[in-house]
Structure 1
Amino acid sequence: MPVQPAPGRAALAALAAYAAIKALGLAVLFLWAELADRSAHRLLAERWDSLWYVRVVEHGYGFTLTAPDGRVLSNTAFFPLLPWLEEGLSAVTPLGPADAGLAVSAVASLAAAWGIFRLVDHLYGPRAGVLTVVLWGALPVGIVQSMAYSESLFTALAAWSLYAVVRGHWPAAGLLAALAGLTRPVGLAVAAAVWAGAYLALRNNSGTDSSTANSSGSGNKNTGSERLRILAGVLLAPLGAAGYVLWVGIRKGSPLFGYLDVQGAWGNGFDGGLAFARFIGGLITSTPPAGLALAAGVIALLWLYTRGIRQGQPLPLLVYSGIVMVLALCSSGYFGSKPRLLMPAFPLLIPAAVALARTKAPVVWAVTGLLSAAAAVYGAFWLHGSGPP
């Protein structure tokens, strides 16, 4: 069995490996942009969603654009935490909102890597923690972690909230879940994970480490104060997402459905995956290799999720990654964005990381090196395409 590194050194190794993967991806992107006579900075900070976040900073909520087909696109579709941070950072530094977004994303991506490591290290050991971080950084769409997008910020908040859940730190878990809910609509997945963990903690009469209680059935009896802490986490968790959705709904004259109307104008909705299934079917008919590869990717995701269940992942992680996966795969929006919408579902990578952790070092280096190089090339290719990631 491979020797497990000391947790402190493993954390540094995880962050160093992650930073190296990101540096490689950015180097390839900038080289590709130079050869293509394009601006890598613009691709990272001033196109697609990142431009809409800047519009929130510069114009406030209520800014709209009319699409060529007549749809009115509103910036209220974009949750407020990232533009708030962009505005705050640009107010106290020379950075403009777009560059502030890049800075927030850079810091948040490191915070996400650290949170993922702490969570997986707590559950499966430091070697698995390091490799989960590496696999997350080396995702084919990992370049998004370096963009002025909200995925890195959301993943950081989600990872640390899940870590707080498995450690039984309920107010912190609820607060982080609330902040995640102010970052992306899927923040409700983090709230659901907090609720799942709270249910297990109360059921097992454990107010300390819910992961330990789940596996052994032992733990300290809940005191009244511990139950209040659990209740605080439960109540805090949904406030961010629910509060913003309600605020948008009130502005639109329909508290419950106003935000859905905003997303509908963008072409986003939930149809149980019918539109995505038709898209895959059409792709198989028109371009069989691409369609079959996409179908295989979906099957791989489902397989990883079932492996997580068989692995005995804590219920909060399964709830979180399951909801993220369902919302990504079963929405009817722009299909090119589905890979990045799945990126925060990092618990799906844990079974692969645990398996890789049992292999010898040369195998680990070969696999992770190949994945990192492929992600760097694909990321540059992806951002130079015509559509948004």
Structure 2
Amino acid sequence: MTVLDLRAAELRAPLLRRAAPALLGYAAVRALGLVVLAVWSAARGTSAYTLLTARWDALWYTRVAELGYGYEVRLPNGDVHSNLAFFPLLPWLERLLHAVTPLSYADAGFTVSLLASLAAAAGIFAVADRVYGPRAGLCAVLLWAVLPVGIVQSMAYSESLFTALAAWALYALLTGRWVSAGVLAALAGLTRPVGAAVVAAVWVTGVLSFVRDRRTPGARTPAGRRVLGMLLAPLGAAGYVLWVGHRTGKGPLGYLDVQAGWRNGFDGGYAFARFVADKFTSFPSALAGAGLIVGVALLLWLHLTGIRQRQPVALLVYTGVVLALALCASSYFGSKPRLLLPAFPVLLPLARALARLRTPKSVLVTVVLAVVAAVYGAFWLNGSGPP
């Protein structure tokens, strides 16, 4: 059997079967992270489960699930933190799971996150496998798992749920399933504000496909399904934003006022640039500032590498919007690493490079990164943690 025959056999195998090694590897990395977090937390006298399910944003999601919208906190400086800032799909799922099982809202959030993280890993594999083959798909999943803030994938946060919906929406685009892409984009838009990135990917890909069809009439695809997918894509985000505007009485832009109460906004990266520049006022913090510059430069270089490697337009548009919204927002700067978690296509150039290594070397690299990520995740959550 030739190499081409083997590749053809791989492509004919069911997707879930091809993804099985990636999912097992992902589960092993996440299990390692949770074990290290449990040991670290026990040594400090804290609860690992509380850190995962009942701190920071996880509390806000469970309050929405239990009490609905309308809860807010007024800070001494006049800021108003309203739970309207949190998109509804995760708390809806928490409420549903709580209603049909004995799980508490916090337990339901943790369960949704665990299941969604596996769905996200499968979606990342499906995308990478479609573009570069199963070995690159395996490496892409493992690289996503060993990110320094990968522990967030196991928290009762919405990052895993959003990434799962985004990844499968992108896979639907790559395989020409326009209605599925539109539905998944709408659900992603109900999960996080960055759902706009998935909508942009659907719309840009759709417009380009119409242009391509006009140039090559013999390669037409059903226009009706494309149009339907494009129309469905923005309904989730637009529906929630308009509902918030109606509820607050502030019109279509009412959601921006809610975000302003959290001091979240989009300023093109000015506040983040000032934050980085301020790090250079003393030597110890200058090292952190240099690290931030290197990290941002690496992200941009990986995205440009994806462009040079001719990644599909859907991936490039999606990644570009996720990076822009994360890096150019004037929100809590400590949250930027987790806001970048959904930008998994930037890992594809690294996944291709890792896939080209001999198996022992690639395993060694992955194991080292997994240990580092597990230790850092335990240190992070037991320290400042995600805001």
Instruction: Normalising by structure 2, report the TM-score.
Output: 0.94
Deviation at 1:218, TM superposition (A): 7.7
Q: What is the rounded CA distance, in whole Å, between the counterparts of 2:347 and 2:172 in structure 1?
A: 20
The answer to whether residue 245 in structure 2 is matched with residue 249 in structure 1 is yes
Q: Deviation digits for residues 177-220 of structure 1, max 9, x if unmatched? A: 000000000101101101121122222229xxxxxxxxxx9896
SS at match of 1:257: helix
The answer to whether residue 227 in structure 2 is matched with residue 231 in structure 1 is yes
Return the match for 1:318 from 316, 333, 343. Answer: 316
Structure 2, gaps ≥5 residues long:
none
Contact 1:10/1:127 (<8 A) preserved: no
Contact 1:321/1:348 (<8 A) preserved: yes
SS at match of 2:81: strand
Q: Which amino acid aligns with 2:300?
A: L
Deviation at 1:111, TM superposition (A): 0.4
Residue matched to 2:54: 46
Q: What is the rounded CA distance, in whole Å, between the counterparts of 1:315 and 1:57 in structure 2?
A: 36
From the superposition, tell whether residues 19 and 307 of structure 1 become closer, same or farther in structure 2 (CA, over 3 Å): same
Q: What is the rounded CA distance, in whole Å, between the counterparts of 1:139 and 1:39 in structure 2?
A: 23
Q: What is the rounded CA distance, in whole Å, between the counterparts of 2:218 and 2:174 in structure 1?
A: 15
Contact 1:166/1:197 (<8 A) preserved: no
Q: Deviation digits for residues 206-239 of structure 1, max 9, x if unmatched? A: 9xxxxxxxxxx9896336xx10100000000000
Deviation at 1:66, TM superposition (A): 1.3
Contact 1:140/1:374 (<8 A) preserved: yes
The answer to whether residue 280 in structure 2 is matched with residue 284 in structure 1 is yes
Return the match for 1:21 from 29, 36, 52. Answer: 29
Residue matched to 1:87: 95
Q: Deviation digits for residues 50-79 of structure 1, max 9, x if unmatched? A: 000011012211111112322121100000
The answer to whether residue 258 in structure 2 is matched with residue 265 in structure 1 is no
CA RMSD of aligned residues (A): 1.7
Give aligned-pair identity as a percent. 61
Q: What is the rounded CA distance, in whole Å, between the counterparts of 1:344 and 1:372 in structure 2?
A: 19
Q: How does 1:1-389 map to 2 (within 5 A)?
A: 6=10, 8=13, 9-205=17-213, 221-222=219-220, 226-286=222-282, 287-389=285-387
Q: Deviation digits for residues 306-352 of structure 1, max 9, x if unmatched? A: 00000100111011010000000000010000000000000000011
Q: Deviation digits for residues 76-132 of structure 1, max 9, x if unmatched? A: 000000000000000010101111000000000000000110111011100000000
From the superposition, tell whether residues 220 and 183 of structure 1 become closer, same or farther in structure 2 (CA, over 3 Å): farther
Deviates more, 1:7-16 or 1:318-327: 7-16
Q: Which amino acid aligns with 2:66?
A: E
Instruction: Normalising by structure 1, report the TM-score.
Output: 0.94
From the superposition, tell whether residues 90 and 219 of structure 1 become closer, same or farther in structure 2 (CA, over 3 Å): farther
Deviation at 1:386, TM superposition (A): 3.0
Residue matched to 1:209: none
Residue matched to 1:210: none
Structure 1, gaps ≥5 residues long:
207-216
